[in-house]
Structure 1
């Protein structure tokens, strides 16, 4: 009869340890998913801007939408580094001011070039 309490305590310890391991795996999976999403938001934003480059209002909207998505992801980020990186990229996207067709073309060129560095920054934040 004395073995039963010891066995129960041992089993409880194994279950608690197992739950901690499951939480670690779940957290790592969530972080990986968020990192993939962050890079995808950048590439999606560049794609949208490219497709509407002749419409300054649509370019501005695509930039704002991308910034909003990154800010939302940053708010939900399971990783502080990813949060900071996503907030930084969102601020850059939000910082463009597209008033006319020339601004739209200039912004497209700048965003297309900078997006490579942004994806790299987001990816490194997830490492």
Structure 2
């Protein structure tokens, strides 16, 4: 499956985040940021054959990312989460072709967000 690299990146990102954060507050922010990013990406990638459900997942994911950004307490993490949320909000999915394109965009943007959080949390 072409979304397997997203799962692998999420797992790697989580291990980096768990081992690299220097303070308890920052560590918690790192864990939460990576968790929300990974959950959102995984949920959306699994809905390629259901454009209506994907549209809802995009909106729900953006809201969760914004909530996590509000509590991150770290400018870089906040920006990574907000940028991913903004990207999700821009995607429109009304047919299967758009769903495939959206899933690919989400995978790319999620990988960028995971990289940013990993760099911030090391």
TM-score by length of 1: 0.70
Task: Mark the CA change 1:97 to 1:88 in structure 2 (over 3 Å): closer, same or farther.
Answer: same
1:53 alignment counterpart: 48
Partner of 2:76: 81
Give CA-to-partner distance per residue, 1:76-107, whole Å, 9 cap, x none: 12212211221111111211111111100111
Q: What is the aligned partner in structure 2 of residue 64 from structure 1?
A: 59
* Partners of 2:30 and 2:117 within 8 A in 1: yes
Distance 1:88 1:50 in 2: 18
Give ranges in structure 1 of 5+ residues lacking alignment.
1-26
Residue 122 of structure 1 deviates from its aligned partner by 2.3
RMSD: 1.8
Cross-structure match for 2:13: none
Runs of 4+ in 1 over 3 A off after TM superposition: none
In structure 2, the CA distance between the partners of 1:49 and 1:34, relative to structure 1 (3 Å rule), is same
Query: CA separation of 1:52/1:74 partners in 2, compared to 1, >3 Å: closer, same or farther?
Result: same
CA drift of 1:69 comes to: 1.0
Larger radius of gyration: 1
TM-score (structure 2 length as normaliser): 0.72
Q: Which has the higher contact order (CA 8 A, sep 6+)?
A: 2
